[in-house]
Structure formats: C-alpha cells, structure tokens
Amino acid sequence: MLTNLAAWGLTRFTRIVTGAHARWLGCAPVPVQRIYFGNHSSHADFALIWASLPSELRKRTRPVAGADYWENGTIRRFVIHEVLRGVLIDRARTEHARDPIELMAESLDAGDSLILFPEGTRNTTDEALLPFRSGLYHLAARRPDVELVPVWMENLGRLLPKGEFIPVPLLCSITFGAPLKLASGETKDVFLARARQALLATRSSARPENGQAHELR
C-alpha cells in the first residue's frame, strides 16, 4: 500500500514540477520490452522517463542507477528499491561487485524494460551529449532482440542541477524517438555513433508539430 502510494506521489510530483507531456516519435507507448536510453543532465532524468510512461509500462520498467548515490539514505533506498525497483550498479567496481551488463541482462530476461544513460555521468558541459560509453553496445549485443528507444529531455539540468536536491519548477519536455537495434556485424564504435546520432536526431525533432503528445494516467 505504501509503495503504491509513493509511486503515485512520485509520478504526480514529477509531472507537476516538470510540466512535461510525453511526445512519441516513431514508436508508441505500447507494452513492448525496451531499453530507453536518454541524455543525462540531472538526478531527475530517470524519474521523468519513468513518470512519462503509461502505468502498465511503469510497472515493468526499471532504471539503472549508481548504488553509491541511491544507497545513501533511508528515503533514497526506499525509492530506488521499493518504488522504482532500480538496477543498482557498483560504479566503484569493488572486489565483489557484479558485472553491470550481467545485472541488466538478468532484468531483461525477467521481462522488464530498462532506463539507462549511455553517457555514464551527468553532462555539465556546453555540449549536447558526452561521448557514449560502451555499456549500451554490450547490452545490445547480449540481447539484440530488445528495442532501443532514444529519449531526449530538455531543461532537466536547470530543473535539478548537479549538487542540488530541491527542484526548481521549470517547463521541461521529453521526446521518445524511433527504436533501433544492433545490426548484424555492427562494430562497437559504429553502433555507439549511430545510437548517439539517433538521440541527437530525437532532440532535433522535438517540436510540437512533429509528434503525438499522450495523456497518461
């Protein structure tokens, strides 16, 4: 009961604070297993992606997040474990840390979708995107049948900047682009460049006349 109430509260709070309406380009919010990969500028990023999904998709979608941040504090632990069911990655790669790709693949094998950020860290530069790290490629190679959906978010870095914990109400936007998959024989560098370009293309097409905004529950 508490978990359901917290999930409802987080969804409503995120939508109210960001004012964002999900815009879907090239795909629809249907119950298909996916890996949603987005630009990363704020701790609020995966909360917005998660809250922008229809309720039936939220129940089967898990964010991939750093254990060092989310295991720090009772409230954070409750949110990430009980509400979001996050897949936590040991970024320090301690002696007993499990392989992050293996953890994510297990979640996909259980039927869940994932939310992740290929930049690997929040982008505080003036560049639109940081270079992608290799994790997205290795996960796509492990599970090549799963759709990869680029997700572009605008203004999240100003809504909740790095080092801040209280969001500043600001109109944000979120756009879901056309899915892609790893092509047969595609190399890591070629795939990561293509995935990065797909995310930038989603940013370029994120205009009201270019997609359908969905009213979510």
**Residue 147: Cβ within 10 Å count:** 15
Residues near 196 by beta carbon (within 8 Å), at least 6 away in sequence: 118, 129, 131, 132
| pTM, entire model | 0.88
Rounded Cα gap, residues 131 and 127, in angstroms: 10
**Residue 98: Cβ within 10 Å count:** 12
- Nearest-Å Rg of the Cα atoms of the chain is 16
Partnered with residue 61 across adjacent β-strands are: 113
Domains of the chain with bracketed CATH: 2-213 (3.40.1130.10)
Beta strand spans in 70-188 (E):
87-89, 113-116, 147-154, 173-176
pLDDT by residue for the chain (217 residues), tens digit each? 789 999 999 999 888 877 778 899 989 999 999 999 999 988 778 889 999 999 999 999 999 998 988 898 899 999 999 999 999 999 877 777 889 999 999 999 999 999 999 998 888 888 889 999 999 999 999 999 999 999 999 876 555 555 555 555 567 889 999 999 999 999 999 999 999 999 999 998 876 555 555 544 4
The pLDDT assigned to 124 comes to 82
Helix axes 45-52, 2-18, angle to 10 degrees: 100
